[in-house]
Amino acid sequence: ATPTALMVGTARSAKMGVLIKNGEVLQEVSDLDTVVFDKTGTITVGKPQVTDVIGDTNQVLQVAASLEESSEHPLATAIMKRAEDDGLTVDKVQEFTAIEGKGVRAEYQGQEAFVGSERLSDEVNISQEMKTQAQKLQNAAKTVVYVGLAGEIIGLIAIQDVAKPSSPEAIAELKARGLKTVMLTGDNEAVAKAIADQVGIDQVIAGVLPNEKAQHIKAIQDTGAKVAFVGDGINDAPALSTADVGIAMGSGTDIAIDSGGIVLVQNDLRGVVRALDISKKTFNRIK
């Protein structure tokens, strides 16, 4: 490999918003056959909004916002914003804990409370009516957050994050290049499938806890596939390092950016297609 050709490729790619950290990446890109994507903030815009509240709207939002005040999760931000828009004030909670990939728990006015996924709702009572509502909302590509208080589900909050308008085109272009596309997410399967269908993703791996993402990449590699992973979050760093090619969204967290061999300056998946095309061209020139 001649350093000059590398420099050229890298300078040109930088102009197109693709930062390639080292020459080894070029070779790895030429061998890829699967591209795995994180969902939130990568395929989707990552700015979820509350669309529905089931139960006593004010009570459900008040409890949820009081618990979420200490969380930095995008779902927490969506709930806080809706509570604020509705003119609700948050109450102080005790013993707040965040459960990674699941939700938050705290003591609300002397009672055990939580806000989070189905996984957190297992130990409490949930009416058939609520279950039916949750399924309906999930089938509509909405993430359902359960609000529990004193051993009962008092309500549901549906939150929707939309696909970036550029995502379907990017996925189609990757498929046209013979690559298999996979979504890897902590979100519920119904929501993940609905978004995957909207953008044309081939396969969905849902309900994955943050610390399991890298293991899933490894399992795909164990089938003999060369894998790229595209992500943006703190949770994505191990998967970015494990993948043959880690592609970080430039809008993502610092730790994700540090873990990627390729960084996309624009928050747009068409950058993945560009990165692959540039890497291949440069690699063929120096080979």
Sequence-distant (≥ 6) Cβ neighbours of residue 151 within 8 angstroms: 112, 124, 125
Q: Restricting to residues 214-243, which ones interact with Mg ion according to CB under 5 A?
A: 232-233
Phi, psi (rounded to 5 degrees) for 37: -120, 140
From 38, 161, 232, 268, the catalytic residue? 38
Considering the rule CB under 6 A, would residue 210 count as an interface residue with ligand ADP?
yes
d(CA 168, CA 172): 6
What is the spatial distance between Cα 25 and Cα 223, in angstroms, rounded to a whole number?
21
Q: Residues binding ligand ADP: what is the number (CB under 6 A)? A: 22
- Residue from 160, 185, 253, 259 touching ligand ADP (CB under 6 A): that is 185
Active-site residue, 38 included: yes
Q: Applying CB under 6 A, which part among 88-96, 124-132, 184-192, 239-247 lies near ligand ADP?
A: 184-192
Which residues within the stretch 14-53 sit at the binding site for ligand ADP (CB under 6 A)?
39-40
Residue among 34, 40, 71, 117 that touches Mg ion (CB under 5 A): 40
Whole-angstrom Cα Rg for the chain: 21
Instruction: Please state, in angstroms and as integers, the Cα–Cα distance from residue 228 to each residue in 112, 113, 168, 186, 283, following that order.
Output: 42, 39, 18, 18, 17
Task: Output 14 or 255, the one with its CB closest to ligand ADP.
Answer: 255
Choose, by CB under 6 A, the member of 29, 76, 147, 179 that binds ligand ADP. Answer: 76
| 116 belongs to the binding site for ligand ADP (CB under 6 A) | yes
Minimum separation from the CB atom of position 6 to ligand ADP (A):
34
101 contacts ligand ADP (rule: CB under 6 A): yes
Residue placing its CB nearer to Mg ion in the complex, 116 or 233: 233
Residue keyed to tokens 């960084």? 263
- Contacts (CB under 6 A) with ligand ADP, residues 119-138: none
> How far is the first Cα of the chain from the last one, in angstroms, to the nearest whole number?
6
Please report, as a single letter, which amino acid is at residue 254.
D
The strands making up 180-184's β-sheet, listed across from edge to edge, are 18-20, 262-264, 245-249, 227-231, 34-38, 180-184, 203-205
Nearer to ligand ADP, 17 or 55 (CB): 55
The yes or no reply on residue 38 touching Mg ion (CB under 5 A) is yes
Choose the contact partner of 210 out of ligand ADP, Mg ion, none; CB within 5 to 8 A by kind: ligand ADP
Asked if residue 115 binds ligand ADP (CB under 6 A), the reply is: yes
Among 25, 61, 65, 104, binds ligand ADP (CB under 6 A): 104
- Compute the C-alpha angle 171/235/81, nearest 5°: 85
- Contact status: 143 vs ligand ADP (CB under 6 A): yes
Q: DSSP for 144-164, please give it.
A: EEEEEETTEEEEEEEEE-PBP
Report how far residue 210's alpha carbon sits from residue 144's, in angstroms, rounded to the nearest whole number. Answer: 18
Residue 152, beta-bridge partner list? 125, 149
What is the C-alpha separation between 61 and 38, in angstroms, rounded?
A: 28
Residue 104 vs 264, nearer CB to ligand ADP: 104
Window of 25-33, 114-122, 240-248, 271-279 that interacts with ligand ADP by CB under 6 A:
114-122
Name the residues that contact ligand ADP, by CB under 6 A: 39-40, 68, 71, 73, 75-76, 101-104, 115-117, 143, 145, 185-187, 210, 233, 235
